[in-house]
Amino acid sequence: MSRTPGYIDGYFKMITTSAAGRTWHFSHALGRPTGEHNGAPDGSYTGGSYYPMDIAMAPDGHIFVISRGIGYELEGYGGDVLLRIGKTTIDENHIGDFARCGFVGPAGIAISQDGNVYVTDEFENTVSVFAPDRILAFPDHRPDESINRWGIAGSAIGQLTNPSGIVFDADDNILISDSGNHRIQKFTKNGDYISSWGKYGPGEGEFKRPWGLCLDNDQNVYVADWGNNRVQKFTATGDYTMTFGSSVDDGSDLDHPSAVAIDSDNDVYVSDWGNRRIQIYEPGGDVITALHGDVNKLSKAAEYDLGRNGGVYRQIFDGIHDAMSMGKTFERPHGLVVDNKNRLIVADSCGRLQIYIKDNDWVDPLPA
């Protein structure tokens, strides 16, 4: 494995991580820890999130991010206004926020074929549905912006306890990590029960607090088995196939994995939450490499924030020795997604997203 600054035509471009014939370029960061979005001097909008939990990308390229918030009502605002869904783009045009104060413990997010936004709430034991174009200016919020909400708390078939990860299959049905019941359940998008599999335990096909999940092009299901420190792969009908990672420190180890994603080469990306990294595996389960965070420049949102109040914040930042290096790595990576251009988008708990671009044709440059 090699990690080098990338140079193209003599100009510094990005940090690269190369291993096993693959390269990931760090591209840029999006957002900052905030509850608002602001009009930037260039006419665009900058914003961010507050403890981002999960990410979903719509077919039109818009990125939807859940902010977990701070867990209590902010004085003068009538709720936890940091808790919401943000809508942004890969080039950091932050469009706005909605569903502010609309949850208790939002955990997973997914987009249906008709474009609606589905969010699990692990404390309310529900799935809420939102129209994607509803934007509210900070700090406005409505008692219930959802266009549908379903879910019954409990352990019986079709009931939910601490639902977390959520994903749509090719038939527009929903798979949910029913974390508190240690199983995966499938529903129609209106909440009608279809099937389920899994039970508590460390064995093949068993779970201990499953969290994030995703599907590959063949509709195989990958589940981040949080409590068992592994990712398990299943067929579309729930038959166990294989395991990625372990709790043994052998280079493939995982410590409370929170999310999983698949790229077009079927390489597997895992948010290794406890180890503060993204582990990358080959389709057969061998470790390729790990990403630890490579921020080398501030996001547009951070630059905007430092420029406020007459530049006082900028002076403070510039006075911190090696400030960029201190903040470049992942704090606690949580949700992640790979888009149709093999760009990896990672939600870090410090309030930003980090973007990597996969490049199978990269050749390390010769030393200067």
Q: What are 272-315's pLDDT values in tens digits?
A: 999 999 999 999 999 999 999 999 888 888 888 888 777 777 77
Contact 109, 166 (CB under 8 A): yes
Arithmetic mean of pLDDT, 19-29: 92
- CA-CA distance, 362 to 7, in Å (whole number)? 11
Q: What is the average pLDDT score of the chain? A: 90
Contact 305, 351 (CB under 8 A): no
Residue 306's contacts (CB-CB under 8 Å, 6 or more residues apart) are 298, 313, 314, 317
pLDDT digits (tens, 9 = 90+) for 65-87: 999 998 888 888 888 999 999 99
CA dist list (Å): 317 to 46, 57, 314: 19, 32, 5
pTM reported for the whole predicted model = 0.92
Count CB neighbours of 239 within 10 A. Answer: 12
Contact 150, 191 (CB under 8 A): yes
